[in-house]
Structure 1
């Protein structure tokens, strides 16, 4: 709940009842600060360390994106995007098995997220933010996008699952 008055606002950002309802415990919290045009994603942790996340914007405005990577899901390969901003103080839940990313639409964004499992570099994964089959509208002009070299090299969703399936056959 968000309460506002002439002094500012008060916001309950976490309540253990959320974890009970979702049947997930959060074990780690991360924060990033990014400038306009920054695009982070699309990231995930591979099994058995797949993470659920509870994300929110502390300052600024972002377009937050979730891609369902669960091959047995009715929404496999589909994406959802939500614009989050400090004024509304909304949160978004990212289920395990989904890739996650965001783009910064304002001058600067301070972004925080809780994770259900710790980060393990050996289980780090990603899919290409500009995968044409996903067609994600990041809310930015291509010329304005600032993305890491690592994120530019991720495979498409289709390529990722082809590689994953080949590894399982070995």
Structure 2
């Protein structure tokens, strides 16, 4: 069964959309932040962007979760900013990427107004600089986050079901 990877930069709504999609499909949802080692969280909290080396164990943990959910299906969030990161995730089983995309201003506004999250707005520019949009050969679709979360979820479910 395909696992949906909800991807995008911080503030794009991965948790909101991922939780709703998982609920609609009746599958488990996993939050990407839960896979980070504490050192990564500390680094981001201090306003320092992660390196590829920092991300390697995090990506490996998410890939393991994907592999473990190939029979049941599932939804997991992951920024999955670069093609090579998505290649790691795709190497663990059948996945479909749900890319949440939005303007810098909207993302920054969302990040400034949320509470209880370690990611500072100061890292948004580095995430956007690293972001490599889905390529035509990658399974998935991109959705504009200026739409309501309910609209994004409905459109994503339609696109996912059409490809299944």
In our comparison, the structure showing a higher alpha carbon Rg is 1
The answer to which structure has the higher strand fraction is 1
Structure possessing the higher relative contact order (Cα contacts under 8 Å, 6 or more residues apart): 2
Q: TM-score, normalised by structure 1?
A: 0.31
Higher helix share: 2
